[in-house]
Chains A and B, each alone.
Chain A
Amino acid sequence: MIPVFETLSGQFDQVVWVQSHGQDVVRVPVVDWYAFAEAAKGQGFEVCADVTAVDWMRMRPDRFEVIASLLSMSLGARLRMSTTVGRDEPSVASLTPLWPGAGFAEREVYDMFGINFEDHPDLTRILMPDDWVGHPLRKDFGVGSVPVQFKASHQVE
């Protein structure tokens, strides 16, 4: 664990540090999401490389996991933050006030999973059409199928 992580874990006693295939992952409670990100930015993580989410459906008590990959060019280190939000009206603080680069990524997560990001300046659908119903990357959203011209056609008389 590099010294910066020890400083961070001293400030937040609720977070859990784990290693996943040699990568540093920190599990943050959803109430500390913004405060931890702000502290991490203060410790040198100047880039928010990615924000994404996973739908755990019935496999975990809290359905959605939101993941932010932070990158520090000065320290040459990566840190992956993750938090969990529940099934009903999932909501988490937006990181866009800290890193403007998180804006598109959070819009994508909102579009694909229906997770609300509080204080996001422009939380609208980004990839799907504006009038689309549902959130495609949720596990209960079917893949769907396209009608094919010949598959169910009648025999030629």
Chain B
Amino acid sequence: MSDETNDPRTEIVDLWVAGSEEPEFQPTDEGAQEISAEETPDRLDVQFGRVIDDDYLYDDDVAEDERVIVNMGPQHPSTHGVLRLQLELEGEVIRRTKPIIGYLHTGMEKTAEELTFGQGPTNVTRMDYLAPFHGELAYSLAVEQLLDIEVPPRAAAIRVLMTELNRITSHLVALATNGMDIGALSMMIYGFRERESILAFFEKTTGLRMNHNYIRPGGVAADLAPGWKDDVGGILKDFPRRIDQYDDLLKENPIWLSRTKDVGVISSEEAIAFSITGPALRAAGVDWDLRKAFPYSGIENYEFEVPLGENGDVYDRYRVRIDEMWESLKIVEQVMDAMPKGDYRVGDRKITPPPRARIDESMEALIHHFKLFTEGFKVPPGETYAAVESPRGELGCYLVSDGEAIPYRMHTRAPSFYNLQALPIAMADSLMADTVATIASMDPVMGDVDR
């Protein structure tokens, strides 16, 4: 033990007791509640938060220490996956936003150059994992255009049935997560519950809840399961009541309205300039739906309307999705009533495998089966672009073949990828608290963005 005077702790204690002086008390105005007399009533409204002063021009004179850059994500629960946003804040107001993506990039376009045309749907179905049927459909349509074949009417009708049911499940997830992000937790429970009833039908038909690999070049993988009309009929009977419940919960809910009205506005000009498609475009009042403009799979034979919004805010996007669920139910009902009989895939055994029973009795069928699942089928050289209206917008597939059994190049035009570009526009000069509402209303699927 050293001498007591050399111990630093003792010195400090000594300083506090004897050597130090009490600092002089200096009152500050920090935390003062008094309102100064020269404030105008308008200014007071802004200060109390009754009026939001949102009319802001970016000003370089703002001091450096008044701006804060906040990284939101890539692990934030409200960013719907691994999306990262760099937000430049002034107080609570967002001035600039930069979306940073790529955290889920797995090189699926490169993978597609290693898989045969028949294996391709297993790849594209994992891109937009909330709308797997639409990805498979766009890919299959592109392959069929290159092969120059037409699928039987029953296959086309099954495709429409599945994609429209898929649109309902995808919109249910959009509503559920949108509700969850804003704080309407009941909506989250309801959305996922109802989605499960349709996923049960998907599982019965395709074997899987998601990532089905059901729609394939040349038709679909299997016919609808026995008793499918009862299942779809049950969905059609159940869902109108459910959607009415969502309206009871949210449509005139004052909290929901104040969190969504005039929030995240994207005008029609901005939406067109930024290549936005889908509900976000229609919420801005642009009447554009690929099912009407460039119909596919015989969807022009069914009657439905294209719901439109007016303001392009979060509330309109929510309304457009609810209305689209009604229209999809109408299409599903028409498809169910008019389901044609016949084969569910093309009869060309160079493209689709023979029925299982034929393999046991026919040598030729066995050879076809073996060749299809080892080498695949060759596709004539050419390039094509096929697009379908997915729940998020135009989902396109650009396919190039050089005459081999694997694509030379496969590119997916992912709607979420383009829709994300408009986030800086939608969120400029808005409040930090509205960020999650805006992201959720764009309904990005990061598997679709990064591929």
* Interface set of A (CB-CB < 8 Å, partner B): 20-23, 25, 46-50, 52, 54-55, 59, 67, 69, 73, 76, 78, 80, 99-105, 108, 112, 125-129, 136-137, 143
Residues on A with beta carbons closer than 8 Å to the beta carbon of B172:
none
Q: How far is the CA of A100 from the CA of B272 in the complex (A)?
A: 9
Residues on B with beta carbons closer than 8 Å to the beta carbon of A104:
417-418, 420-421
Interface residues of B in 84-118 (CB under 8 A from A): 101-102, 105, 107, 109-111, 114
Residues on A with beta carbons closer than 8 Å to the beta carbon of B383:
20, 25, 54
Counting contact residues on chain B (CB < 8 A from A), the size range is: 35 or more
Interface centre among A20, A67, A127 (most CB of B within 10 A): A127
Contact (Cβ within 8 A) B274 A73: no
Q: How far is the CA of A121 from the CA of B383 in the complex (A)?
A: 30
Contact (Cβ within 8 A) A127 B272: no
Closest Cβ neighbor of B411 among chain A residues? A52
Nearest chain B CB to A79's CB is how many angstroms away? 11
Cβ contact of A67, chosen from B101, B398, B420, B421, cutoff 8 A: B398
Contact (Cβ within 8 A) B273 A100: yes
Q: How far is the CA of A69 from the CA of B385 in the complex (A)?
A: 9
Contact (Cβ within 8 A) A54 B272: no
Contact (Cβ within 8 A) A73 B411: no
Contact (Cβ within 8 A) B396 A50: yes
Contact (Cβ within 8 A) A101 B421: yes
Interface assignment of B234: CB less than 8 Å from any CB of chain A: no
Contact (Cβ within 8 A) A101 B146: no
* B interface majority secondary structure: mixed
Residues on B with beta carbons closer than 8 Å to the beta carbon of A55:
409
Q: How far is the CA of A126 from the CA of B408 in the complex (A)?
A: 23
* A interface majority secondary structure: mixed
* Contact flag A99-B273 (CB < 8 Å), given A69-B413, A128-B105, A143-B114: yes
A/B interface sample: 5 pairs, CB < 8 A: A50-B396, A54-B400, A100-B421, A104-B417, A104-B418
Q: How far is the CA of A69 from the CA of B408 in the complex (A)?
A: 19
Interface assignment of B450: CB less than 8 Å from any CB of chain A: yes
Contact (Cβ within 8 A) B276 A127: no
Residues on B with beta carbons closer than 8 Å to the beta carbon of A20:
382-384
Residues on B with beta carbons closer than 8 Å to the beta carbon of A80:
385
- CB-defined interface of B257-301 with A at 8 Å, one 1/0 digit per residue? 000000000000000111111000000001010000110000000
Q: How far is the CA of A20 from the CA of B381 in the complex (A)?
A: 11
Contact (Cβ within 8 A) A49 B396: yes
Interface assignment of B394: CB less than 8 Å from any CB of chain A: yes
Q: How far is the CA of A127 from the CA of B385 in the complex (A)?
A: 23
17 extra A-B contacts, CB within 8 A, seeds A73-B293, A78-B294, A104-B421: A21-B148, A22-B145, A49-B387, A49-B394, A50-B398, A52-B411, A54-B383, A54-B409, A69-B385, A69-B396, A69-B398, A73-B288, A78-B385, A103-B421, A104-B417, A126-B102, A143-B111
